Every structure is written in structure tokens, then in C-alpha cells.
């Protein structure tokens, strides 16, 4: 071999070793510390939300009280991404019984929303991230009620106190929210939105005091209803507050505003809404029981991918090696193909869970991964063959290979564990910056725009139907070992959410990282499957990595056929997590420096 080529190979090898050594060195340090305690832990996307949850815990409340208080504040300080108009998914560990619950607070489509209506009135298109025609009924307030009524100890008045104070008196606005207000141009189209969010006609700059007195008044109305019914007992008082939102004057104002402004929502859409407690789905991964929300969410796709990956020696492949990233991305592609074929609102469709979650089906799917080449097709399986009955489910796939597809989205996250080890992992969302962009009259909040996830293809698992919940990207993760909770994981990020929590989980379980190292490790992502928002665009061979992934690894991924996009360092993630050590009684909380996330523990 010529000397020049030998030298080039030697330099490449040295560079690779140096990069690997640098990654090894930095992995022992973190941008933020692991926050540890024995009594409780909180991790959320904003420091004010984590502080609000902690104040409730210090005052004697439990995890359920604290998570409502924290999310109510999160909906103000992270208002672009969640709020009173949000949908949500929640995973709950009830310490007294040792049971895990799934709370489905996804929104429903208006009764007037049909495939035919959009074909006749919207040229067969759903508006994306804009207008009331992209919205669904908000579910978060009902989630608050269920969490407080079934498991909490405090009142709405107690847990909403911080949110009302911040909305009424204001807070120094953070950089991200200020940028979102300045850069979301659609907000300028809607007078009610500008009146609520930017009443001075110019949006606030970072550090200026930002208020939302309209929202404060709306939240006070919930407290007033609770007070007025206090003599009937705690349950009825909580119920009265909830019903004022969905069946009382707040619901009537939302319905009237919708009808007067081109929306399809009517009073009955709000009055008939209910969030649902459901059984979660789960798998075993190397002795860890991993739980996900089941219905109206992409969450189970992470379980499909983990089942596939369990058949590989990931430690031997090496953390963030080309082989590891390639194998993981290929597993996600297969999982997301099954997401699009099978997952949706189980009130409307049948999901062959036994087949989808079986190790035998995962073995079948694993064979499709070529260790040398990236796949370019959307390859859904036939999971029903592995389920009782085995009847074939005819499900068309709805996607495009050209155009603009939004795989990212905007969401928020908060997790709480209390002294008794009650654990709650909650993902609330408006879907994309400020949801529909339309503040509902003088109520101070906009609705989520999750309706733009629906398919307008009849027979598709996620096909639009009146009263149906769209299959959202929202998901939480809860992990148990020997019947005890050991991890709560969540992340904003649209279609990327499952990939973010999966990487954090594997970083802990396979590579022995502490929770903060697992969050901060360089990340990869892919868009080689249909985007959730309409019109469901897929980018074959797409793969993204942060630029902290070494150049030698990137070159190898390109040689495998991946169309590689390199993103800036610290750009692919917004993770929050809590790791519990039942044997030592210690909680380890982590928060992503890529976002404004903060963890607290005591």
C-alpha cells in the first residue's frame, strides 16, 4: 500500500480513537449534575414548574397534587408548548397497590368533523398547526381532575395557586417563550391571541414581565366552582370545578367562539368529553418491565423497537458506533411502519397487541435489518399472525414521499416521584407552537392542534371520525424492576419522542450511564417514516446525528446508504427523567441542558 494511503488510514484511525476517548472522557462529566434525594424528585421542562411541584411536596402534598400544580405552571412558563388547551398522556404508579395506570387525556375530534367535510370544504386537506379546524377538545383539565380526585389530597385552590399568581402578576419571560411569541407569525392573524399574549402590540423580550390575566380569571373560575360546592364534600367540589370547564360557562364560551369563528366545535363536544383510565401496554427488556400508554398514541412503537433490539448485543456494537446507530434506526423504521398500520384510538379500531408485543414477532421483524445497508421502504408487518385468531387486518398506509413533513412538533414534560414512591410521568402538549394559534375568546388559552394528525384515507388506523382521538406523538415511559419503579422518562419532540426516551433508557440499561449522562449523550434521529402531521410525508434513508458523533462514524453511516443530516451539538433532545434506586432509597433526577429543563430533589 502506498505510504500516502497508509498515512491517511493511520490519521483516520488516530482521529477515531481520539474522538472515542474524548466521548469517554466527557461522559464522566455532565453539563448539569445528577440531582439526588430520598424524599422526592421532580423533573420538568421549566424551573418554575419544578419549583411549583416541589412547593406542593414540601407542603405535604403527594405526587398527584404536585404534578397538577407543576403542569399548571408549565402551561404558562412553557405556553408555546402546553397549557389549559392541551391534550396529554400520563403514566401512573400507585405505590399502595403496586399497579401502573395509563391516563389517556388525548382530545377528541368535533362531532361535525368528517372526512367528507374536509373534502368538500378544505380541498381534502387538514390545516396544519393553524386555525380551529386543526384542533381537538382539550383533555388536560380532566386529567387534573382525575389525578386529584382518585389519588390526590389537595384542592384545586391549593394546587392552582402558583399558576394563578404567575398568570395574574407575571414572570420574567424566558428566552424560548419570547422567541416563540416573536417568531410565530400566525399569531398576528388572530385579534384574541394578540390581546392575550401581546397586548402592547409588541411581544415581550427576554426578561420582561409577561402576564396572562385572562388565563388567571379562567383558572379562578375553577376555584370558585370548587368553593361553591365545598359543602358537598371534596369529590363533588373537584367535580364542580372540572364540570365548569367542560359543561358550564367556560364550555359555552368555547363553543360560541368556535361557531362564530369558523370552527367545528359545539357545546356537546366539550360536554361529552372524558379522559380515560386504561391499562398500559408493556414488555420485558432484559429484566426491566417497560410500560407505555396504549391508546391514541405512538408510544407502543418504542416497545416494538426495543423488542427488536433485544436480539442484538448492543454493548458489543458499542455506544453510538455506526453499527449501533444503524441498527437502532432500522429498528425504529420497522416500529414506525407498524405504528402507522396498527395504532390509533382503540374505541374505533382493533389493535392486535398480543402479536405486536410478542418476542416471536420481533424475531420475524429483526430478520429484515441488513447490517450493511439502510432500508428505504416503509415495511409494515403482519402482527396479527402472532395474535389469537390471526385474522388479517386490511389497513392502508397513508403517506407521501414529497413535500414538507413536520416530524418535530412542540410538547412539554414533567415527572414527579414522592416519598411513598407514587410516580407520575405526564406529557402535555399543544402539538406545535401555540396549537391552533387562536386564543378562545377571553379565556386566555388556545386549543391543541392535534387534529392535523388525522388521516383522510378511509380505513386507515388513524382515519378521521367524529369523536375519535387522533394517534398522537405524545408518550411517557415508566420502567419497573422487581415490581418497583426505577425510571420515569419523557421528552418533547414530535415523532422523535420515542427515539429520545429509548436512547436514554438504553444508555442506562445497556451502557451503565447515570441518568444525567444518559440524557446528555450525543443523539441520533430519523424521519424515514411518515410524519404524524398531515400530509404525512416520509423521507426515505433520512438519518440525523448531533455533530458530537465522530466524523468517522458519520462517514460509515453514509457508506451504509443513510442520507445523513448533521445537527449542531446539544440540539436533538429535551429530556427529563427520574431514576429510583429502591434498595438504597435514593432518587436520581436529570434534566436536559438542550432545553430549559430543571430537576429538583430532596
- Rounded mean pLDDT, 592-598: 97
- Give 343 or 8, the one with higher predicted confidence: 343
**Nearest by Cα to 382 from 355, 359, 347:** 355
Q: Which helix (H) or strand (E) element contains residue 586?
A: strand 586-591
The answer to which of 294-298, 399-403, 494-498 has the lowest mean pLDDT is 399-403
Grid look-up 474524548 returns 22
Distances (CA, A) of 194 to 5, 190, 205, 406: 63, 7, 15, 25
Confidence of residue 25 (pLDDT cuts 50, 70, 90): very low
Q: What is the pLDDT of residue 402?
A: 84
**pLDDT score at 317:** 98
User: Cα(148)–Cα(23) distance, rounded to whole angstroms?
Assistant: 44
Q: Is the peptide bond before 535 cis (omega within 30 degrees of 0)?
A: yes
Enclosing H/E stretch for 140: helix 140-146
pTM of the full predicted structure? 0.94
C-beta of residue 138 within 8 angstroms of C-beta of residue 255: no
pLDDT reported for residue 11: 31
The predicted structure's pLDDT at residue 24: 43
Comparing CA positions, the residue from 325, 306, 263 lying closest to residue 564 is 325
Q: Can you tell me the mean pLDDT for 409-430?
A: 96
Gap between the Cα atoms of 455 and 461, Å rounded: 8
How would residue 20 be classed by pLDDT, with cut points 50, 70 and 90? Answer: very low
Q: How are strands ordered across the β-sheet holding 35-37?
A: 35-37, 586-591, 576-581, 484-490, 477-481, 288-292, 281-285
Segment 452-508, tens digit of pLDDT:
999 999 999 999 999 999 999 999 999 999 999 999 999 999 999 999 999 999 999
- What percent helix, strand, coil does the chain show, rounded to 5? 40, 15, 45
pLDDT category at 391 given cuts 50, 70, 90 is confident
DSSP state of 470: P
pLDDT confidence tier of residue 14, bands split at 50, 70 and 90:
very low
Question: What mean pLDDT is reported for the chain?
Answer: 94
Instruction: Please give the Cα distance from 193 to 213 (Å, whole number).
Output: 13
Spatial distance between the Cα atoms of 480 and 466, rounded to a whole number of angstroms: 37
| DSSP bridge partners of 598 | 44
Q: Which of 24-33, 195-204, 288-297 has the highest mean pLDDT?
A: 288-297
The conformation of residue 248, written as its DSSP 8-state character, comes to S
| Confidence tier at 403 by pLDDT (50, 70, 90) | confident
In degrees rounded to 5, what are phi and psi of residue 43? -140, 130
Q: Tell me the C-alpha distance between 297 and 106, whole Å.
A: 8
pLDDT given for residue 26 in this prediction: 41
DSSP summary character for residue 547 = T
The pLDDT tens digits for 551-589 are 999 999 999 999 999 999 999 999 999 999 999 999 999
- Phi, psi angles (nearest 5°) of residue 537: -90, 140
Q: Compute the average pLDDT of residues 517-545.
A: 97
The mean per-residue pLDDT over the stretch 529-546 comes to 96
Query: In the predicted model, what is the mean pLDDT of residues 7-18?
Result: 35
Q: What is the pLDDT of residues 234-254, one digit of tens each?
A: 999 999 999 999 999 999 999
- pLDDT (tens digit per residue) in 195-219: 999 998 789 999 999 999 999 999 9
pLDDT the model gives residue 392: 86
Under the banding of pLDDT at 50, 70 and 90, the label for residue 18 is: very low
| Spatial separation of the C-alpha atoms in residues 587 and 599, rounded to whole Å | 11
Percent of the chain with pLDDT over 90: 92
What distance in Å separates the CA atoms of residue 504 and residue 498, rounded to the nearest whole number?
Answer: 10
Amino acid at each position: 500500500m502506498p505510504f500516502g494511503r497508509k498515512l491517511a488510514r493511520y490519521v483516520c484511525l488516530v482521529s477515531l480513537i481520539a474522538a472515542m476517548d474524548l466521548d469517554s472522557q466527557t461522559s464522566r462529566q455532565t453539563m448539569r449534575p445528577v440531582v439526588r434525594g430520598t424524599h422526592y424528585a421532580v423533573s420538568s421542562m421549566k424551573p418554575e414548574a419544578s419549583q411549583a411541584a416541589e412547593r406542593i411536596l414540601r407542603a405535604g402534598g403527594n405526587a398527584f397534587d404536585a404534578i397538577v400544580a407543576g403542569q399548571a405552571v408549565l402551561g404558562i412558563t412553557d405556553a408555546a408548548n402546553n397549557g389549559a388547551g392541551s391534550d396529554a398522556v400520563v403514566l401512573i404508579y400507585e405505590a399502595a397497590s403496586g399497579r401502573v395506570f395509563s391516563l389517556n387525556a388525548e382530545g377528541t375530534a368535533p362531532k361535525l368533523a368528517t372526512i367528507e367535510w374536509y373534502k368538500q370544504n378544505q380541498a381534502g386537506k387538514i390545516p396544519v398547526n393553524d386555525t380551529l379546524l386543526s384542533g381537538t377538545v382539550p383533555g388536560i383539565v380532566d386529567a387534573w381532575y382525575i389525578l386529584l380526585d382518585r389519588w390526590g389530597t389537595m384542592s384545586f385552590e391549593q394546587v392552582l395557586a402558583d399558576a394563578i399568581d404567575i398568570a395574574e402578576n407575571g414572570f420574567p419571560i424566558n428566552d424560548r417563550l419570547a422567541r416563540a411569541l416573536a417568531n410565530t407569525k400566525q399569531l398576528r392573524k388572530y385579534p384574541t391571541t394578540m390581546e392575550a399574549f401581546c397586548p402592547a402590540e409588541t411581544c415581550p423580550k427576554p426578561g420582561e414581565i409577561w402576564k396572562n390575566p385572562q388565563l388567571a380569571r379562567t383558572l379562578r373560575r375553577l376555584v370558585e366552582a370548587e368553593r361553591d360546592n365545598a359543602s358537598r364534600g371534596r369529590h363533588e367540589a373537584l367535580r364542580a370545578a372540572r364540570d365548569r370547564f367542560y359543561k358550564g360557562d367556560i364550555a359555552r364560551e368555547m363553543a360560541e367562539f368556535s361557531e362564530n369563528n369558523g370552527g367545528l366545535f359545539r357545546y356537546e363536544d366539550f360536554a361529552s368529553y372524558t379522559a380515560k383510565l386504561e391499562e398500559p401496554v408493556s414488555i420485558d427488556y432484559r429484566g426491566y418491565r417497560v410500560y407505555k400508554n396504549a391508546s391514541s398514541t405512538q408510544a407502543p412503537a418504542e416497545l416494538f423497537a426495543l423488542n427488536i433490539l433485544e436480539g442484538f448485543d448492543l454493548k458489543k456494537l458499542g455506544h453510538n458506533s455506526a453499527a449501533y446507530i444503524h441498527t437502532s434506526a432500522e429498528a425504529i423504521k420497522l416500529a414506525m411502519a407498524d405504528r402507522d398500520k396498527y395504532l390509533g384510538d382503540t374505541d374505533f379500531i382493533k389493535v392486535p397487541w398480543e402479536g405486536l408485543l410478542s418476542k416471536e414477532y420481533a424475531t420475524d421483524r429483526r430478520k429484515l435489518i441488513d447490517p450493511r445497508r439502510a432500508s428505504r421502504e416503509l415495511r409494515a408487518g403482519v402482527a396479527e399472525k402472532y395474535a389469537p385468531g390471526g385474522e388479517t387486518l386490511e389497513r392502508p398506509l397513508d403517506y407521501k414521499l414529497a413535500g414538507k413533513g413536520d416530524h418535530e412538533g412542540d410538547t412539554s414534560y414533567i415527572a414527579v416521584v414522592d416519598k411513598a414512591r407514587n410516580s407520575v410521568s405526564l406529557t402535555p402538549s399543544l402539538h406545535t407552537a401555540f396549537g391552533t394559534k387562536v386564543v378562545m375568546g377571553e379565556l386566555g388559552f388556545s386549543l391543541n392542534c392535534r387534529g392535523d394528525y388525522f388521516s383522510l384515507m378511509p380505513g386507515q388506523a388513524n382515519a378521521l371520525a367524529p369523536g375519535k382521538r387522533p394517534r398522537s406523538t405524545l408518550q411517557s415511559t415508566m420502567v419497573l424492576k422487581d415490581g418497583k419503579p426505577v425510571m420515569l422518562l419523557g421528552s418533547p419532540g414530535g415523532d422523535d419522542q420515542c427515539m429520545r426516551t429509548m436512547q436514554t433508557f438504553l444508555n442506562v440499561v445497556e451502557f451503565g450511564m447515570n441518568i444525567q449522562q444518559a440524557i446528555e449523550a450525543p443523539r441520533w434521529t430519523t424521519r424515514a417514516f411518515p410524519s404524524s402531521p398531515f400530509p404525512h410525508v416520509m423521507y426515505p434513508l433520512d438519518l440525523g446525528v448531533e455533530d458530537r458523533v465522530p466524523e468517522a462514524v458519520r462517514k460509515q453511516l453514509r457508506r451504509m446508504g443513510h442520507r445523513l443530516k448533521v445537527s449542531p451539538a446539544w440540539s436533538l433532545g429535551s429530556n427529563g427523567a427520574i431514576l429510583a434506586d429502591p434498595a438504597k432509597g435514593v432518587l436520581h433526577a436529570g434534566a436536559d441542558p438542550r432545553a430549559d429543563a430543571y430537576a429538583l430533589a430532596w
